């Protein structure tokens, strides 16, 4: 959900936006459906009709990198906000989490080193074979 602020907001406008965001959070935490609250309260016209649905995000893909530590620390069903953004205050809810199948670097380090060595060896072997072919003298006689 977005609670929009004008370009140069007054203290009163900031306080009102925070209060609106706080009331929306309270409604969701009281059991009201996030999508219905977003449709009724959000100032974001692009997501209002879909109940505030933003879709999937991977690390490094959010519009505002400052939100990542907040959003990626959330668990399924968590509601956080108001979070300051360029357009105003935002309220986030995580509806689903997909964990990556990637293993941590320390576990993959040795495998990655082997793969890089193998690739380099293949490249060196290919270069060596090409050089041998250039130097080779082939005499074909047909009888």
Instruction: Give buried/exposed letters for 78-100 (b at 16+ CB in 10 A, else e).
Output: ebbbbbebeebbbbbbbeeeeee
User: pTM for the complete prediction?
Assistant: 0.59
How many structural domains compose the chain? 1
pLDDT, one tens digit per residue, over 67-103 is 788 888 888 888 888 888 888 898 988 888 777 677 7
Task: Tell me what pLDDT residue 44 has.
Answer: 87
Q: What percent of the chain has pLDDT over 90?
A: 29
Q: pLDDT grade, residue 129 (50/70/90)?
A: very high
In a domain, 68, yes or no: yes
| Residue 113 CA neighbour count, 13 Å, CB half | 6
Q: pLDDT grade, residue 118 (50/70/90)?
A: very high
* C-beta of residue 95 within 8 angstroms of C-beta of residue 76: yes
Cα 71 from chain centroid (whole Å): 9
CATH number of the domain encompassing residue 36:
3.10.50.40
Which residue segment(s) compose the domain that 75 sits in?
A: 2-93
Whole-number Å distance between alpha carbons of 39 and 132: 71
Q: Is the pLDDT of residue 127 over 80?
A: yes
Task: Tell me what pLDDT residue 95 has.
Answer: 81
């Amino acid at each position: 959900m977005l609670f929009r602020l004008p370009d140069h907001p007054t203290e009163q406008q900031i306080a009102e936006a925070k209060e609106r965001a706080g009331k929306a959070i309270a409604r969701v935490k009281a059991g009201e459906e996030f999508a219905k609250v977003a449709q009724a309260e959000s100032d974001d016209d692009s997501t209002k009709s879909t109940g505030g649905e933003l879709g999937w995000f991977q690390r490094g893909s959010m519009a505002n990198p400052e939100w990542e530590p907040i959003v990626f620390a959330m668990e399924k069903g968590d509601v956080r906000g108001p979070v300051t953004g360029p357009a105003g205050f935002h309220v986030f809810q995580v509806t689903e989490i997909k964990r990556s199948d990637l293993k941590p670097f320390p576990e993959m380090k040795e495998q990655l080193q082997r793969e890089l060595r193998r690739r380099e060896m293949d490249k060196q072997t290919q270069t060596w074979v090409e050089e041998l072919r250039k130097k080779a003298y082939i005499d074909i006689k047909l009888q």
